């Protein structure tokens, strides 16, 4: 993937960071995106440039349409367009609540950050992908999102991501004639620093909740994204891929 331009939202830390490093190892030029983590983004930018690829770090909140346009304008000015977009960023409220306990502001933020922002960003990058007749769009969901089951205490987040499931499948069909693939990766419950770790670093750790027996790592997710971005993965599109170790995140709530 030498010379491809990969934009990863929310990539100063966590799964986005691990994905950025993985795609840089494949020869991609990287666009990092962050909102508050400026120090971490700059440290990561320097680390990626040591790999011999170009990298910029751009501050932008994907839930704000104007900031999205500014982000893409910077990418176009620096690289002439985007080849790979990984829509990793998205707000999540870990505290379990009934739908009626959410504020209006929280509902809007979760929908904007997890669904509408990704749709608008795709809308901005697709024209340059069409011109090149090549593109890779990756969305993030959650385990079993493709089944659109009830998820009590996660009503808003689940609604946004299952909406993104339908959008992923539709966009995949519409953009296939232009050489653009669209897929969704659905991580399991990967927490804390495990999001940035390799498989080797978590293999010896026992996780009694995951049928696989170990916690998930950032590498588990990044290596699937890497595969989906290859030229020879052009026949894989419209897929919702669970990467959970067998864990079902929609557990009994009473």
Q: What is the pLDDT of residues 173-227, one digit of tens each?
A: 999 999 999 999 999 889 899 999 999 999 989 888 888 889 999 999 999 999 9
CATH superfamily of 5-243: NAD(P)-binding Rossmann-like Domain (3.40.50.720)
| pLDDT of res. 29 | 98
* Average pLDDT score, the chain: 94
pLDDT < 70 regions, the chain: 251-254
| pLDDT of res. 251 | 63
Q: Cα-flanking dihedrals φ and ψ of residue 213, to 5°?
A: 95, -10
pLDDT tens for each residue of 184-194: 999 988 989 99
Count of CB atoms within 10 A of residue 9's CB?
27
Q: Give domain limits for the chain.
A: 5-243
């Amino acid at each position: 993937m030498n010379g491809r331009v990969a934009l990863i939202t929310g990539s100063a830390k966590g799964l986005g960071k691990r994905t950025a490093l993985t795609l840089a190892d494949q020869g991609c030029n990287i666009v990092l995106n962050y909102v508050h983590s400026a120090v971490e983004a700059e440290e990561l930018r320097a680390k990626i440039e040591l790999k011999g690829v170009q990298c910029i770090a751009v501050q932008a909140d994907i839930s704000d349409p104007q900031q999205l346009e500014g982000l893409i304008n910077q990418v176009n000015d620096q690289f002439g367009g985007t080849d790979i977009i990984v829509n990793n960023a998205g707000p999540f409220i870990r505290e379990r609540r009934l739908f009626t306990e959410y504020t209006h502001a929280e509902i809007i933020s979760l929908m904007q950050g997890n669904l509408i922002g990704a749709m608008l960003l795709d809308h901005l990058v697709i024209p340059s992908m069409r011109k090149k007749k090549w593109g890779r769009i990756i969305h993030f969901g959650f385990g079993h999102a493709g089944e659109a089951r009830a998820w009590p205490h996660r009503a808003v987040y689940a609604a946004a991501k299952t909406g993104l499931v339908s959008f992923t499948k539709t966009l995949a069909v519409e953009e296939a004639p232009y050489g653009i693939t669209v897929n969704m990766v659905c991580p399991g419950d990967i927490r804390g620093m495990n999001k940035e770790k390799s498989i080797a670093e978590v293999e010896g750790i026992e996780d009694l909740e995951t049928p696989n027996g170990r916690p998930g790592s950032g590498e588990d997710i990044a290596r699937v994204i890497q595969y989906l971005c290859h030229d020879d993965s052009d026949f894989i599109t419209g897929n919702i891929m669970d990467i959970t170790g067998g864990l079902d995140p929609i557990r009994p709530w009473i």
